[in-house]
Structure 1
């Protein structure tokens, strides 16, 4: 089962039927929406996304940075959640955004869309756009 099906069977089916070149714009739109909605400003993450939008392959140091950032944010989330801190979901959301970028880079567009969606508190607006 594709994880995206847990959020939207219709969108998962749509992406299954499209070719990769047609799925990439959906993944880019999902990442862009998630980044914008989060209000998160991180120069390195923003630059990596900008490069991905321009179809530029990320370098190994850039990928390593994103992987480390994702891991650090996930760890921060788990620690904050364990301590019942109210802002734990911010770290979770940011980790999912970085993960979405990594999946975008690797061409795993449905996974990128899924990660973008789970980073959001309200998925309905993005789902409406992606279903069009």
Structure 2
């Protein structure tokens, strides 16, 4: 299931617009499924400024690591601290409680470069 209300990157990161210039970011169900049971998440700090496609953290399972790249440029305004003590949330609810960070966008025009649900589904079908 690929939620229609989200936008996606080719690197299996989702984006939910939560305000005029704010988004919430997480890894997709496809990404968490490929990883297996998530054991830790290393995320940026509140206040960090990210640029699009810059590495912003890593989600790890017992046998793999998934490098998370910033889908958009902006300042980190929130980090899901719950993932530190409950990393399995990234598996159990990747589109909800398993979110990673919230960003205050530098350039909302970058949203136009993201995939919609149908384009992301097509990408997944090809891999």
When the two structures are superposed, what TM-score results if normalisation uses the length of structure 1?
A: 0.28
- Greater helix fraction, Structure 1 or Structure 2: 1
The structure with the largest alpha-carbon Rg is 1
When the two structures are superposed, what TM-score results if normalisation uses the length of structure 2?
A: 0.28
- Greater strand fraction, Structure 1 or Structure 2: 2
